[in-house]
Amino acid sequence: MPTLTMLMTALAVAGSTVAPGSEGGLPSRAPWPQVVPAPERISLWPKGAPGTEGRRAIAEVAQDYWVRNINDPSLTVFPADPRHNSGAAIIVVPGGGHKILVWTTEGIDIAPRLNQMGVTAFVLKYRLAREDGSPYSIERDAAGDLRRAIRWVRANASRYGIDPHRLGVMGFSAGGELLSLVADNPGPAGEKAIDAIDRESDRPDFQVSVFPGPLGIPAGAASSAPPAFITAGSLDKCCAVPALHLYEQLREAGVPAELHMYADADHAFNLGERSSLLSIVHWPDRLADWLADNGWLDGKGGPKP
């Protein structure tokens, strides 16, 4: 009959850690813990964004789900797995009322879901015009950060194995306002390129507008806007009406647009992590369907003949 000492010795041997493939260890095909590197962060203006003089040394403030005090606009990169990289890319623009950035649930948490679709994600940190003491404007600085981000991704597309002509923007709430200002309205007049990146196009190939705020709607250049996927909740007092207006304006202009308006859903449903509605939990699947149906995942996207 085994003694307690014998049992303890057997458990200790069974629980010991041995490198895969070594004598007595796990089979060589077994997974081994990997160190996941931190996501790459790209400063959009390595020498400092225009208009940030005197503020570049001020540190960002982050707490819980939000970030503020952004003076160095940047992209955080989440590449698609090379084994099923579709070549498409999406810049994610979080909301927060231009006072904070909802950095988790409308930013970095979105990236893995897009990666599952084979899409490389870039999450944008942009300057906040309604933060206390901010010297920035929404139309000039925040929208300018998004324009620069689109140009930067296009200029560096080959580095990430993406097609510069299958680049979309996904904006949440205030981020949806920046998306509309850039995608659905005329660009600023008299812009001067400061480098080669600025000579790239700042127009996204497609747009994903998630409970968009009212700025930029109605669109000032609807007829030249890119194809759109639009979603919002019917109970959203802020953003249901702008979503409806944008859809109707694009539809009348002949721009391919798809609208998903969810009953009994309010603002900021994000990926449905707090919702009991199956339709909200699964709305990203509808986005995946739309991306596939319109050819953005297989390289056949673009204007229909």
| This prediction's pTM | 0.88
Which pLDDT does position 17 carry in this prediction? 40
Which pLDDT does position 138 carry in this prediction? 98
Per residue in 267-291, pLDDT (tens digit) is 999 999 888 999 999 999 999 999 9
Per residue in 54-113, pLDDT (tens digit) is 898 899 999 999 999 999 999 999 999 999 999 999 999 999 999 999 999 999 999 999
- Does the pLDDT value for residue 24 go beyond 50? no
Contact 177, 138 (CB under 8 A): yes
pLDDT band (50, 70, 90) for residue 33:
low
Rounded Cα gap, residues 132 and 142, in angstroms: 15
Contact 184, 222 (CB under 8 A): yes
Going along the chain from its start, the domains and CATH numbers come out as 55-293 (3.40.50.1820)
Rounded Cα gap, residues 217 and 89, in angstroms: 25
pLDDT band (50, 70, 90) for residue 303:
low
Q: What is the chain's mean pLDDT, rounded?
A: 89
